[in-house]
Amino acid sequence: MPVVRVSAVFALALLFAAPAHAARLPVDDAPRLTEARATRILLREPKVADWVARYPPNPTTDAKYERERRSWEVKVWSGEAGQVAEGRVSDRLGVVTEAWTGPQVAWKMARGSDGAFGGSTLNSPVVWLLFSAAFLLGLADLRRPLSLRNLDLVVLLSFTVSLWFFNRGDVFTSVPLAYPPLAYLAARLGWIGLRGRRPAAVRPVWPVWVLAAATVFLAGFRVGLNVQDSTVIDVGYAGVVGAHRIVHGQAPYGHMPVRRDLRPCGPADADGEIDERIQTNGRCESAVERGDTYGPVSYLAYVPAYALFGWDGSWTNELAAAHAAAIAFDLLCLLALALVGLRFGGTRLAATLAFAWAAYPFTQYVSSSNTQDALVPLFLLLAFLVLAAPAGRGAFLALAAWTKFAPLVAVPLWATYPGHRVTARFGAGFALATLASFAILLLEPSAVQAARAFWERTLGWQLGRESPFAVWGWGQYEAAGIPDLQAVQRVLQVLLAAAALALAFVPRRKSPLQLAALTAALLVGVELVLGHWFYLYIAWFFPLAALALLAAPDRPVAPPEEHRGRARRELVAAG
């Protein structure tokens, strides 16, 4: 009987205690701030207040309390301009922990992070400045500090200033700072290409063997940086995904892993989003919905690395196939530059150009981001190695164009090299390489549907793309007082197209140096008018720009075999 009484008392205690305990839990977890209070805190943040003040008064706001993070997510809209600000307010401290305005709202890459592209080691001031110092000391004319050659080198490095602001999330400063060096290089390379003369005579301070030894050391250091501390951004990941699709009988276009309406199969990220989803092929894969925006060669080039290392469906910085491909592209570019230098200027130019690639920090930026951007200059360099064979140079130019589309601007120039007549063999080589590249569309049941998907996912999408990483896309912030320069962009695009056609005939005959300079100038011109620009694109024009700017003056840049006699006569006539 006493046991029964004790049990009854205990049961009654639990009965009354449980509701009391349950009632206390929400009190402990309840937010301290109200929605209105969290919103006011964010709107008073100087960064947010300054940006929101550019728009009409009385913006629309919304604040949501996230219990797990003990913070408020606050969003701000302004009429037709859409969402203009977003931030996070700590519920316990009552302070703003995150604040994003303008392009930072929709573009996470605009929020600033030293390691998001290229890894934290390369982006550290010490390592970046060491690369830059090596580049200058190895290539500069130390006897004439104010020489034009040194100015060229400084301009090539000056993109660093823009990158510094980008890494700190200041897009409205970083983007305009990229245009002066691009404009200078377009003008400088165009001038060299039209005049047909080499830069002023200069003999590098360092002997050939020192440049060669430094190149070998830097090449090993670059590989180490890639392996130890680099990031696999969406471009490299998409290359591996595309290779997987090709190997398994699909074209990449329209078959990238997506997130929407699919069952999750992985953990949520810091923002609560789950990228890993069960795709229609039954695999758990990380989403990269716009990974199929590049040319077919961008994906075919990753097939060897995928065959060697495979892919388990996840997107991590340890993705071996992406690292292997990026390292291979980088080292092949270095080798191709050395061969081009040897072919057109001897051992000194070979050592100089190879060293330039190895020491230039923005080429390592490509490798440490594990992208395919080194493929464009690689194919252009291979085209230079077979310059005397029209079909060969046509084929390699096609491979460069169908990696990323910018080299298409140079087709008229290369088709008429060295004179003003279009070479049928060039066209045949270009056509055959194009057919081989686009053969992957035949993997689809309908080639017509596959071609439509290619256009819609690549050029069709890119031509109408809005991006804050070019001044031409800032019209979306016109309500904030930023001018819409799209009309200027259209004018410049027309002028670029006209220049591309004109350079096919002027100068009437061109040397390899002129071809290199004019091709680099056209590529820079493309980057000047692009609706979306990024630092990875510098590698597209850098090798040919280096050839034009650094060609050894004590040995002429040799033309193809069939034109050497004419070149010698011109040199003799020039004294």
Q: Three-class SS of residue 117? A: coil
Question: Average pLDDT, stretch 552-568?
Answer: 45
**Residues 37, 481: Cα–Cα separation, whole Å:** 29
Confidence of residue 142 (pLDDT cuts 50, 70, 90): confident
Does pLDDT of 264 surpass 70? yes
Say whether pLDDT at 563 is over 50. Answer: no
Q: What digits encode the pLDDT tens for the residues 326-335?
A: 999 999 999 9
pLDDT of residue 468: 94
What confidence tens digit (pLDDT) does each residue in 412-449 have? 999 999 987 778 999 999 999 999 999 999 999 999 99
What confidence tens digit (pLDDT) does each residue in 346-381 have? 999 999 999 999 999 999 999 999 999 999 999 999
* CA–CA distance, 26 with 142 (Å, rounded to integer): 72
The mean pLDDT value for 467-490 works out to: 92
pLDDT at 555 over 50: no
Asked whether the predicted pLDDT for residue 557 surpasses 70, the reply is no
CA-based nearest residue to 173, from 469, 563, 513, 545: 469
Task: Round to whole Å and give the CA distance between 242 and 251.
Answer: 7
Please state, in angstroms and as integers, the Cα–Cα distance from residue 363 to each residue in 235, 331, 534, following that order.
Answer: 16, 11, 13
pLDDT at 321 over 70: yes
Residue 455 confidence (pLDDT) above 80: yes
The DSSP bridge partners found for residue 264 are 277
3-state DSSP of 15-53: HHHHHHHHHHHHHHHCCCCCHHHHHHHHHHCHHHHHHHC
The strand pairing partners of 277, in sequence order, are 264, 285
What is the DSSP secondary structure assignment for residue 264, as one 8-state letter? B
Give me the residue spans of the domains in the chain: 27-101, 119-229+323-573
Question: What's the average model confidence in pLDDT over 125-144?
Answer: 94
Rg (CA), the chain: 28
Tokens 């096609």, residue located: 398
Q: What percent of the chain has pLDDT over 70?
A: 90
Q: Is the pLDDT assigned to residue 198 strictly greater than 80? A: no
Mean pLDDT across the chain: 89
Tell me the pLDDT band of 144, cut-offs 50, 70 and 90: confident
Under 8 Å between Cβ of 264 and 255: no
Residues 97-117 have pLDDT tens digits of 999 999 999 999 999 887 889
Nearest to 71 by CA among 47, 44, 49, 42: 42
pLDDT at 387: 94
What does the pLDDT average to over 501-518?
94
Helices 538-550 and 320-359 sit at what angle, rounded to 10 degrees? 30
Give the architecture-level CATH label for domain 27-101: Roll (3.10)
The three-state secondary structure class of 278 is strand
Would the pLDDT of 203 be above 90?
no
pLDDT digits (tens, 9 = 90+) for 167-190: 999 999 999 999 999 999 999 999
Asked if the model's pLDDT at residue 14 lies above 60, the reply is no
Percent of the chain with pLDDT over 90: 79
pLDDT at 17 over 80: no
Q: Report how far residue 380's alpha carbon sits from residue 427's, in angstroms, rounded to the nearest whole number.
A: 16
Q: Residue 3's pLDDT is what?
A: 40
CA–CA separation, 197 vs 556, rounded Å?
10
Please report the DSSP string for 197-231 in residue order: -PPPP---SS-HHHHHHHHHHHHHHHHHHHHHS--
Q: What is the pLDDT of residue 515?
A: 96
Q: How confident is the model at residue 8 (pLDDT cuts 50, 70, 90)?
A: very low
pLDDT of residue 479: 86
User: Is residue 499's pLDDT more than 60?
Assistant: yes
The answer to whether 279 and 258 are in contact (CB under 8 A) is yes
Tell me the whole-structure pTM to 2 decimals. 0.90
Could you tell me the two tokens for 366?
A: 């490509």
Alpha-carbon span 519 to 409, nearest angstrom? 9
CB 468 within 8 A of CB 102: yes
Q: Say whether pLDDT at 398 is over 80.
A: yes
What is the pLDDT, as a whole number, of residue 4?
39
